[in-house]
Every structure is written in C-alpha cells, then in structure tokens.
C-alpha cells in the first residue's frame, strides 16, 4: 500500500484533454490566491526513535483545502507550484508557519520541513530561514530541512554552500526519499546530512524481499559509519517495523505509529504501537 501512495496519482478527472489543460490553468491561478485566503494548512506526522519509541520530531506536510475541489494532495499541487513559480512564496509560508506552530508545542520536538528544489536555489533562502526562526522564537536546533537529491544535482556548488550556511546556524538537514533517484554515494560523502530518509517504496518490499532487507541493512550500516541517522519512511506493517528495528535503523515514520494530522500525538500511543511486534525484536542488535 505504501507503493500506491508514491506512484503518480491523477490530479484531474476531466474526461477531455482540453478540460484537463483548463483545470490545470485554473488551479495555478487558484494557487496564487490560496496563501491570502488561508487555504493551506500544515499537518504533522510523528517520527520516533528506535528502539525506544521516543518521539523524535514531526514532519510538516502541507494540505490545500480548495474551495471547490476539496482537499488536494501535495503530490499534485507541489509540482504545479514548482512549474508555475508559485513555489517560493508557498515555501516561505510553509517555513514560517511550521516555525510559528512548532515554537508553541509543549515539548521541544524537532519540526522537519520539506524544502523544494527551487527554494534551495533561492539566494534569499538562508535569510528567510533566519527570519522565520527569529520571528517565531524557535531555536535553530529544533528545525530540520528535508530535501531530495533532485534539489542538489542542478548546481551542486551553490546547493552545498546553502546547506553549509544552514548547518552553521544549527539547523539539521535530511536527505529525503533515499533509494529512489540517484542515491549516489558521492552525495552522501560531500553533503552535510544529519539524516537519511529511506523511501517508502523501498520499505514496502522488505517483508517479502530478502534483497531489500540486505540493502536496508547496508544503508543502516552506512548511516552509522557516516554518523547519519537512518529513518525508514512509510512503515505500515508490524512486520516491516520489526525488520527495520532488527536491521539497526535509528528512526521510523509511517501510518503504523501515526498518520499526518493537524495535532500532535500521544507519546504513550506511539510507544504502544512500537511494541506491536509479530516476533521479538533484539533491541541490542538495533542499537549496535
Ligand atoms: P515526503 O516528504 O516523502 O512525505 C511523505 C509522504 O508519505 C506524505 O505524503 C505522507 O503522508 C506519506 N506517508 C507517510 N507515512 C505513510 C505510510 O505509512 N503509508 C503511506 N502510504 N504513505 C505514508 P503527502 O503528505 O501526500 O506528501 C507527498 C509529498 O509531497 C511529500 O513526500 C513531499 O515530497 C511533498 N510535500 C508535502 N508537503 C510539502 C511541503 O510542505 N513542502 C514541499 N516542498 N513539499 C511537500
Ligand atoms: Mg519529506
Ligand atoms: Mg520522503
Ligand atoms: Mg516523497
């Protein structure tokens, strides 16, 4: 099921091509108004450490409540915003909103914000992030930025400079969707990532594919060697959670411990879900 969520979804159901093109154009126009009309909101999905089940942080995931089309998936409108140039204003709104909301959380959890490739390419990004922290009062140590490899392949030198400046402020950086795209070792070696997020499409295979387990194990080892946390995304099944814990991943995110939602989750609930194991997990092996 994790796989289905990551395959391209149809955004428009119009029968005619013309209608689809028109719908798309209208949606781009709507994107422009959506920030002012407060049509976007952030949902949060919990991330927990292994093997303790302690909450590590929350990933902010944007939602668009469209006046006539209802909830539209970010998998539809983020690419549209990227192409139409609306992504930078949207991305700034997301960053500021996530910092403001996280600053009010009762516990000092980290908020992880997805950064679009275009925004990483914006020379004002570092100033925008600094301003979002100052305005909200959120300490830099409580912000993590997630980016995919596609964000750094265009102008590697520039991307590296941006990330180093953000790191110097105390912000953590995660490599999102690892295992898809290039997954190049060179990127892991040259960029200052704190966390590798293993893609859900990969996690979906581990309970029936021994090769996938061997690769998972290697990525976990690589993470320990490079001093980067390895978080498995899209974990839905107790069997997947057991394998991920056994193979030494340091964190987990997925429906099994919590779906994205407007509010935070009960830490005791997360711990209980983490104990839903089909067979005993060796906590020492997971820590080694
Ligand atoms: P992502 O950053 O890799 O986020 C993970 C996606 O997997 C989220 O989908 C999340 O709801 C979904 N997910 C989490 N656990 C499970 C699970 O156990 N099973 C399944 N089937 N799915 C799970 P969502 O919220 O629809 O977001 C999709 C993508 O859209 C994100 O992938 C990210 O690339 C992009 N996106 C979302 N919010 C933002 C944002 O604020 N800014 C930017 N630039 N991109 C965003
Ligand atoms: Mg992400
Ligand atoms: Mg991801
Ligand atoms: Mg993704």
Which residue of 2, 3, 4, 5 sits with most ligand 1 atoms within 8 Å of its CB, as the best mutation to test the pocket?
A: 5
Q: Separation of 55 CA from ligand 2 center, angstroms?
A: 17
Residue 177 CA, closest ligand 1 atom number: 3
Q: Tell me the whole-structure pTM to 2 decimals.
A: 0.91
Contact 13, 249 (CB under 8 A): no
Q: Strand 40-49 relative to strand 251-253: parallel, antiparallel, unpaired?
A: antiparallel
| The pLDDT of residue 40 is above 60 | yes
Distance of alpha carbon 68 from the chain centroid? 28
Q: Separation of 199 CA from ligand 3 center, angstroms?
A: 6
**Distance between CA atoms of residues 22 and 179, nearest Å:** 35
Contact 59, 42 (CB under 8 A): no
- Res 287: pLDDT: 41
Residue 280 banded pLDDT, cuts 50, 70, 90: very low
Least confident stretch, 25-34, 96-105, 208-217, 226-235: 25-34
- Res 16: pLDDT: 65
Tokens representing 261 are 């939602």
Tokens representing 144 are 């993590």
Contact 226, 207 (CB under 8 A): no
What is the rounded average pLDDT of the residues 226-249? 96
Q: Which ligand is nearest to the CA of 116?
A: 1
Which residues lie at CB < 5 A from ion ligand 4? Answer: 177
**Cβ neighbours of residue 268 closer than 8 Å, sequence gap 6 or more:** none
**Distance between CA atoms of residues 172 and 262, nearest Å:** 23
What is the rounded average pLDDT of the residues 99-103? 98
**Distance between CA atoms of residues 241 and 249, nearest Å:** 10
- Res 11: pLDDT: 67
Q: How many CB atoms lie within 10 A of CB 42?
A: 21
Q: Which ligand is nearest to the CA of 41?
A: 1
Q: State whether residue 59 is helix, strand or coil.
A: strand
CA atoms within 13 A on the CB side of 136: 25
| The pLDDT of residue 140 is above 70 | yes
Residue 94 CA, closest ligand 1 atom number: 41
**Cβ neighbours of residue 225 closer than 8 Å, sequence gap 6 or more:** none
Q: List the residue whose alpha carbon is closest to atom 41 of ligand 1.
A: 62
Which residue of 74, 111, 261 sits with most ligand 1 atoms within 8 Å of its CB, as the best mutation to test the pocket?
A: 74
Q: List the residue whose alpha carbon is closest to atom 25 of ligand 1.
A: 61
* Assembly ipTM: 0.98
Closest CA to 272 of 53, 68, 57, 105: 53
Q: Separation of 203 CA from ligand 2 center, angstroms?
A: 15
List alpha helices for the chain, DSSP H: 2-6, 17-34, 74-84, 87-103, 117-120, 125-136, 150-153, 156-168, 185-190, 200-203, 210-226, 238-246, 267-274, 283-287
As to burial, measured by CB atoms within 10 angstroms (0-12 exposed, 13-18 middle, 19+ buried), residue 254 is: buried
Q: Which ligand is nearest to the CA of 94?
A: 1
Contact 13, 24 (CB under 8 A): no
Residue 10 banded pLDDT, cuts 50, 70, 90: low
Q: Separation of 17 CA from ligand 2 center, angstroms?
A: 31
**Cβ neighbours of residue 29 closer than 8 Å, sequence gap 6 or more:** none
In angstroms, what CA-CA distances link 25 with 34, 64, 80?
A: 14, 16, 10
**Distance between CA atoms of residues 137 and 133, nearest Å:** 6
Q: State whether residue 8 is helix, strand or coil.
A: coil
Q: Separation of 190 CA from ligand 2 center, angstroms?
A: 21
- Res 276: pLDDT: 61
Closest CA to 242 of 209, 188, 279, 198: 279
Q: Separation of 89 CA from ligand 1 center, angstroms?
A: 19
Ligand 1 pocket, Cβ-based, cut-off 6 angstroms: 1-2, 5, 45, 60-62, 73-75, 78, 91, 94, 114, 116, 146, 176-177, 200, 234-236, 254-255, 260
- Res 7: pLDDT: 46
Tokens representing 58 are 């929350």
């Amino acid at each position: 099921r994790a796989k289905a969520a990551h395959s391209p979804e149809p955004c428009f159901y119009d029968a005619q091509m013309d209608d689809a093109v028109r719908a798309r154009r209208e949606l781009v126009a709507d994107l422009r108004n959506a920030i002012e009309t407060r049509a976007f909101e952030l949902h949060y999905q919990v991330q927990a450490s292994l093997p303790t089940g302690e909450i590590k942080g929350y990933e902010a995931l944007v939602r668009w409540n469209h006046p006539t089309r209802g909830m539209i998936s970010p998998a539809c409108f983020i690419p549209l915003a990227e192409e139409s140039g609306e992504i930078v204003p949207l991305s700034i709104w997301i960053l500021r909103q996530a910092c403001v909301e996280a600053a009010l959380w009762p516990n000092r959890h980290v908020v992880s914000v997805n950064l679009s490739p275009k925004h990483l390419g914006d020379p004002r990004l570092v100033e925008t992030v600094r301003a979002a922290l100052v305005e909200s009062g959120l300490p830099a140590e409580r912000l993590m930025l997630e980016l995919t490899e596609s964000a750094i392949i265009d102008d590697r030198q520039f991307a590296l400079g941006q990330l180093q400046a953000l790191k110097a402020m105390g912000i953590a950086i995660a490599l999102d969707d690892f295992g898809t795209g290039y997954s190049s070792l060179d990127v892991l070696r040259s960029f200052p990532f704190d966390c590798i997020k293993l893609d859900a499409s990969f996690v979906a295979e581990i309970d029936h594919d021994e090769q996938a387990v061997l690769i998972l194990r290697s990525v976990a080892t690589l993470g320990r060697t490079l001093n980067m946390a390895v978080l498995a995304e899209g974990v839905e099944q107790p069997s997947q959670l057991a394998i991920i814990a056994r193979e030494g991943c340091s964190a987990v995110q997925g429906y099994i411990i919590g779906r994205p939602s407007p509010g935070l989750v009960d830490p005791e609930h997360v711990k209980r879900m983490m104990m839903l194991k089909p067979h005993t997990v060796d906590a020492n092996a997971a820590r080694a």
